[in-house]
Amino acid sequence: MTINFVKYQGTGNDFVLIDDRTETFPASDQALVEKLCHRRFGIGADGLILLRNHPDYDFQMVYFNADGAEGSMCGNGGRCIVRFAHDLGIFQEETRFLAVDGEHTARVEGEDIFLKMSNVTSVDERNSLTFLNTGSPHVVQFVDDLESYDVVGEGRSIRYSATFQPGGTNVNFSQVLTNNTVFVRTYERGVEDETYSCGTGVTAVALVAHQQLSLQSPVQIRTIGGNLRIAFNVTGENQFDAIYLIGPAKRVFAGMITV
């Protein structure tokens, strides 16, 4: 079988995008997805995303983590599929699509994609860790000297800790810099490693930075892979709507792979 794909990245979080409007991709073949994402044996990516038709939306996003399992919402992948749909001519300025956590709207403004995220309705403390769901589950922790922090070691121990079983969690380590800016490094579940950036993760960090440290919308985010910003509206205690993840999403290359 030969598969056509396009590789995209959003602040260094990289994805294999497949136009699956014909629904021919064997989506239940977890080993195949894992192999396509493998950086030595495959194309190499943090995840794989199918673009499918949907009767009520411009398109549907089906997202898999690099381990081949279907993941929860992916914010950087969301910006990448919006860019992909735009490149395919599916929409011009604004789009409305369906993802695993429900409806999203988005618009293209030059290099940037403005992606509307799901509303957040709770922020909890679990075993002294701040936890919230922004489409995917996230722990947010503020630390000193993030540059030299052991993100993989500490992230993995929280991700597999009893508190977050059975599903596990993504873990974001954060440090406030000057000017309403937070530096974030994320351990990602499903990749089981640090990624260069995580969209739902930095969204979680921005909301917690507002609550705990009074940062204001739009919060500026620095990741290893580049800069993002998060705009939001506070509607109550632990309640946020009009949450936007804003930043670039770029096509890297296109190819064909025989499996």
Q: Which of 74, 80, 106, 182 is catalytic?
A: 74
Do the Cβ atoms of 104 and 115 come closer than 8 Å? yes
CA–CA dist 3, 58 (Å, integer): 23
- CB 189, min distance to ligand API, A: 4
We find the least distance from the C-beta atom of residue 163 to ligand API, in angstroms, to be 16
Query: Which H or E run contains 60?
Result: strand 57-65
CB 42 within 8 A of CB 80: no
Query: Is 188 annotated as ligand-binding?
Result: yes
**How many binding residues for ligand API (CB under 6 A)?**
17
Let me know if 198 is a catalytic residue: yes
Cα–Cα distance between 212 and 244 in angstroms, integer? 20
Binding map of ligand API across residues 172-211, x = CB under 6 A, - = no contact: ----------------xxx-------xxxx----------
Kindly tell me which of 70 and 241 has the beta carbon lying closer to ligand API. Answer: 70
User: Any catalytic annotation for residue 80?
Assistant: no
Contacts of 150 (CB under 8 A, 6+ apart): none
Which residue in the list 18, 198, 205, 209 is annotated as catalytic?
Answer: 198
Decide: is 133 part of the binding site for ligand API (CB under 6 A).
no
For position 130 contacting ligand API by CB under 6 A, the verdict is no
Cα angle 96, 65, 81 (rounded to 5 degrees) comes to 25
155 binds ligand API, rule: CB under 6 A? no
Q: Kindly tell me which of 21 and 105 has the beta carbon lying closer to ligand API.
A: 105
Cβ of residue 159: shortest distance to ligand API, in angstroms? 9
Single residue of 133, 170, 180, 223 touching ligand API by CB under 6 A: 170
Alpha helices in the chain (DSSP H): 30-37, 75-87, 151-159, 199-213
**21 vs 40: CA distance, rounded Å:** 28
**Contact flag: residue 11 with ligand API (CB under 6 A):** no
Instruction: Indicate if the alpha-carbon torsion angle 220, 148, 174, 37 is positive or negative.
Output: positive
What's the angle, vertex CA 199, arms to CA 6 and CA 140, rounded to 5? 150
Q: According to the binding rule CB under 6 A, does residue 225 interact with ligand API?
A: no
In angstroms, give the least distance from the CB of 65 to ligand API: 5
Q: Which is nearer to ligand API, 53 or 126 (CB)?
A: 126
Query: Is 75 one of the annotated binding-site residues?
Result: yes
Which residue(s) pair with 173 in the sheet?
141, 185
Active site residues: 74, 198
Binding site for ligand API (CB under 6 A): 13, 65, 71-72, 74-77, 136, 170, 188-190, 198-201
